[in-house]
Chain A
Amino acid sequence: MTVTDLPSASGGADEPLLDLLSGFIVELRNAGLPVSLTENLDAMEAVTHIPIEDREAFKYALGATLVKNHSHWRAFEVVFEVYFSLRGPEYEIVDGDPSAPLSDDDDQDPQMPGQGGQQGGGGGGMSALTPEQLAEMLFKALLQGDDAMLRALARQAVMRYAGMEPGRPVGGTYYLYRTLRNLDLDGMLDRLMEATREDAPAELTPLEERLERDEFDDRMDRLKQEVEAEIRRRLVADRGVEAMAKTLRKPLPEDVDFMHASREEMANLRKAIYPLTRKLAVRLARKRRHGRKGPLDFRNTMRHSLSYGGVPAEPKFRFPRPAKPEIMVVADISGSVAAFARFTLHLVYAISSQFSKVRSFVFIDGLDEVTRFFEGVEDIGEAVHRVNTEADVVWVDGHSDYGHAFGVFWEKYGKDVGPKTTVLILGDARNNYHASQSWIVKEIEHRARKVFWLNPEPRAYWDTGDSIVGEYGTWCEGVYEVRNLRQLEAFVEKLV
């Protein structure tokens, strides 16, 4: 990445900024964002027009040139914060001296002595305040929605409570937790609501109350963000930009591993799945309509030739109408792979118009048909939730037993598998050393159009321990590693 010998377009910016930018872009690429060379050059040019001092505008300028997918915006923001958080006068660290003893570990002692030597930052002599006074100021700031005050207080709180020590190998979340615990925000919401109730001229209707609560929730979220940002700034100052960016690096939503997603990542995944299904449905419908051209449609051509005086000037083709497959999803929903099954079911049902029929079965060691939960339901998320809570899938002990589940499937529903049926089996094939009964998969394969196995485990773990995916896989048309939304999307597209 040579940035120093760029065309003259970027000549106006000073070298340090360009260095910073090139580091920034390298980090974006490391985080998985596809930044092309032209986009890089655009960004370099953009920053010559927008001063770095106007931080918001600067951020959006970089975003507009570098991030072309909204789901990547969050990742971009994090990297931006890390790289540019120490830029601009009002964003400097207030106490300027990270080695000052910030970490009075004595939460028991409320009369913490002020740690002199800090000025400015909107909070004048804030360090002299007692924790009670600080809490009181925070309460007022939240009540009035005073953003500047909130920011100053967030800084003060981090300085006081986070107990950050230079060089200590602790993640930002630890400091965040410590700071927030000391601020006692849960109690704060009740107090705020009470104060609002008292101030109101008349009694609040439940609607008003709800709105007030949402408002305070919002303000407290902002406070949390401020605290987080402050902690991040301090960590960056302590550890340096690259190291910090590396620790904060998170997979993009489409690359999040189903099996190891955190709660927050799960929530993001759920949000991502709706637009994904919509896009997929549009794309598939289009593909169906505009697919390859079929053979010449003689009748149609002749009919149209009449308008050219009998000359067949406009050949007409018969469009192939491929039969829509019938889908049977057989999903393991035991703990480790439940999330994966959930997303796949969601996706399959969201595009069910592409299939002539969808039936779904879930199992752990017993097996249950769950098609009924999806019938006539608009809200697929709700149906998937019901599958997880209501389906009858435990036979003996609630540990995966593929062999038995397949046995039940074959016995009860085997006759429904026909030459038009495509069977999808979802699971990690960790059979807890039960009998595999793989002959059933063979029989299904015999009868069905196709059998696919989707495994949410990384390929390297297949056939290790009690995983017997290889044994089942011999009878399947294909076994696919589907660890994230990207792979799932790719598979579904292939399926249709």
Chain B
Amino acid sequence: MTDTDARFADLAGVRSSLADVDYLADDGIAGIVYLADRLGKPILVEGPAGTGKTQLAKSVAEIIDARLIRLQCYEGLDESKALYEWNYKKQLLRIQAEGGDAAWTEVEDDLFSEEFLLTRPLLEAIRATDPVVLLIDEVDRVEVETEALLLEILSEYQVSIPELGTVEATQVPLVFLTSNGTRELSEALKRRCLYLYIDYPDLEREREIVTAKVPGIEPNLADQVARIVRSIRQLDLKKDPSVSETLDWARTLVLLGVDQITAETATETANVLLKYRTDIDKAVKEFADNPEELAGPAA
């Protein structure tokens, strides 16, 4: 399946336009977005929470000026919430309005027409005529059986409705699926997607992200934030600080008017960065490991 009207001219273009909307992509991310467009395949984005998986879809939608259709997955999601549903109340009204003198087959044909169809995100994305980006968020939350719902859409870009027939996409939408990896997704789903793992960014990228996303931050502070976060991630923690937590922390520091992080400020604000008691203790211990530190450095 090749996409005829490519959205991106070349690879460098993807990267720079992502940067324009303040999404700092590395080579991998930009390359795969470009590839997804060219191959007409969905992207399955995995990675730790808070590394910008959902944001990627939003940013791409912003770049190509497309409508973002979002399907938030949860346990118990079913066809009627994801694909389509018949508006049975309206159907009921239709039957009553008829008053019983019309031929049954006529009413039946009428009942299962588009007029009575309620489109849900997946069908909506397929039927859209304007450019859309479909985001299927946290796909690992649905049950394995429900995953099968997605397969037809992801490979053929079509939805089969027994009463109506098959609805085919007028255009191949860009599709992003995100997963936090709480369970292994089925092989069938993975096979249909390009796989992108977004890990915590390296030092330079994290610094750039902090600078771009936190207004009014001094370059020096941004650098320190990024370095400390990197050091913290090297500890053996229950939950490493995510990018969004890094940003929260940087904002906190800016609000507090800190321009130089000391061990003291770091330990006092550690609860913004880390969310588990044991993790905070560990980090604080690590930073106050030095005996001189306990005496308190010059603030």
Residues of A near any B CB (own CB < 8 A): 9, 34, 36, 38-39, 42, 45-46, 49-50, 54, 56-57, 60-61, 63-65, 67-70, 73, 205-207, 210-211, 214-215, 218, 275, 278-279, 282-283, 286, 290, 378-379, 381
Contacts and interface: CB of A to CB of B under 8 A. Distances in A.
A64 B194 contact: yes
B210 to A, nearest CB: 15
Interface of A is mostly: helix
Given A46-B39, A211-B224, 20 more contacts: A50-B35, A61-B35, A64-B32, A67-B195, A68-B193, A69-B195, A73-B197, A206-B290, A207-B266, A207-B293, A214-B230, A215-B203, A275-B181, A279-B181, A279-B182, A279-B183, A283-B183, A286-B143, A378-B276, A379-B278
Contact of A42 (B11, B41, B231, B287): B41
Nearest to B288: A206
A207 B190 contact: no
Contacts of A283: 183
Contacts of A45: 39
A68 B191 contact: yes
A139 B296 CA distance: 33
A230 to B, nearest CB: 21
Contacts of A50: 11, 31, 34-35
Contacts of A49: 34-35, 38-39
A60 B31 contact: yes
Q: Which of A56, A70, A207, A211 has the most CB of B within 10 A?
A: A207
B181 A46 contact: no
A296 to B, nearest CB: 22
Q: Which 5 A-B pairs have the closest CB atoms?
A: A57-B31, A60-B28, A206-B290, A68-B190, A56-B27
A377 to B, nearest CB: 9
Nearest to A270: B236
Interface string B190-216: 110111110000010000000000000
Contacts of B196: 64
A207 B262 contact: yes
B175 to A, nearest CB: 14
B297 interface: yes
Contact of B227 (A9, A73, A211, A379): A211
B190 A205 contact: no
B184 interface: yes
A61 B41 CA distance: 13
Interface string B271-299: 00000111000000001011011000110
A61 B183 contact: no
A467 to B, nearest CB: 34
Nearest to A68: B190
B263 interface: yes
A207 B297 CA distance: 9
A36 B191 contact: yes
Q: Which of B183, B195, B266 has the most CB of A within 10 A?
A: B195
B191 A56 contact: no
